[in-house]
Copies of this chain bind each other. A is one copy, B any other.
Amino acid sequence: MKTTIDLVSAALREKDRFLILTHRRPDGDTIGSAVALCLGLRAAGKRAYLAENEDLTPRLLPFAEHYLVPASFQPETVVAVDIADTALLCGSAAHLAERIDIAIDHHPSNKDYAAMTYVEPKAAATGEIIWRLFSGWEMEKEFYQALYVAVATDTGCFKFSNTTPLSHLIAAECITQGIDFHAINKEFFTKKTKARFQIERMLFDSMQFAADGKVVGTYLTRAVIDGVGADNDDMENLATLTMQIENVMCGIVLTENKQGGSFKASVRTHAPLDASRICAVFGGGGHARAAGCTLEGDGESCCRRLMEAAEEQLAHV
């Protein structure tokens, strides 16, 4: 049931033995918010741990590993952070879907699955809500580090339109507290694995332009992806890269599925072009600015068909 931040705050102070859940394919916000909440609760004299998350990447693991729950721990209170829907729980936490006591989230699509839910859709990150819960407390450096990770990653290092004044105020305080924000920025925003570098190179090389440069499309075959040893981290946000190019209104990236013979397409658009309409032509869907679909065939023909559908939509806006 939806409630206020004050009632959530009161519940956190009243209860004990917290198990904190993060979402599958975790990002900096779910992990950073969970760690900060865990440390905040411990500072309040509570016992608190993060639930196991089998999807933790090498990049996020160092932030979370010291707070993971021991096998012997019997939780009294289950808290979900940054999780819009119990369908987004990782496999090892799925059995807890029905007994989540408190959900703290910033996704407007939050399904209100918990006994107590606080959602702040205007928050750039769930980390901003955790910050407010412990505002005025004196905390250890790891708390500030975790919140910096949460806020910086969900705002694209303060670049995205969702960035709020509070995002920056939190960063100012975290830097004042002496965290090594530059190391975090390098890890999350600058460093490229060799495989990622190769994937970007091939993406750029195979890029095709249509509609006077407004539509750009490219595909990566399984042979290419496996050939450079790219993992899921390496394949993230490729379509976003295509949208940086001047005048591009629609960026399409297709990646061949593991079994071969079909391609998963990521489509990004600038307003007023609607990505979900382009993907709907192939039975897919999503949001206005970001959508996806699956196409059967070889990369060249899948890419051409999708680019044609984008040109078709473009002619109508």
Contacts and interface: CB of A to CB of B under 8 A. Distances in A.
Interface stretch (A77-85, A157-165, A223-231): A157-165
A176 B165 CA distance: 6
A200 interface: yes
A165 B157 contact: no
B161 A158 contact: no
A156 B233 CA distance: 23
Contact of A159 (B157, B166, B193, B200): B157
Interface in A170-222: 171-173, 175-176, 181-182, 185, 189-194, 197, 200-201, 204-205, 207, 213
A246 B193 contact: yes
A207 B247 CA distance: 27
A66 B193 CA distance: 44
B192 A200 contact: no
B163 A175 contact: yes
A212 to B, nearest CB: 11
A172 B182 contact: no
B169 A245 contact: no
A62 to B, nearest CB: 16
Contact of A175 (B168, B182, B192): B168
Oligomer: number of copies: 2
A244 interface: yes
A166 B176 CA distance: 9
A172 B161 contact: no
Contacts of A159: 157, 185, 189-190
Interface string A88-114: 000000000000000000000000000
Contact of A213 (B173, B194, B207): B194
Contact of A194 (B158, B190, B245): B245
Given A168-B168, A205-B205, A161 B182 contact: yes
Given A158-B158, A165-B173, A182-B160, A246 B205 contact: no
A168 B157 contact: no
Interface in A145-164: 157-161, 163-164
Contacts of A247: 194
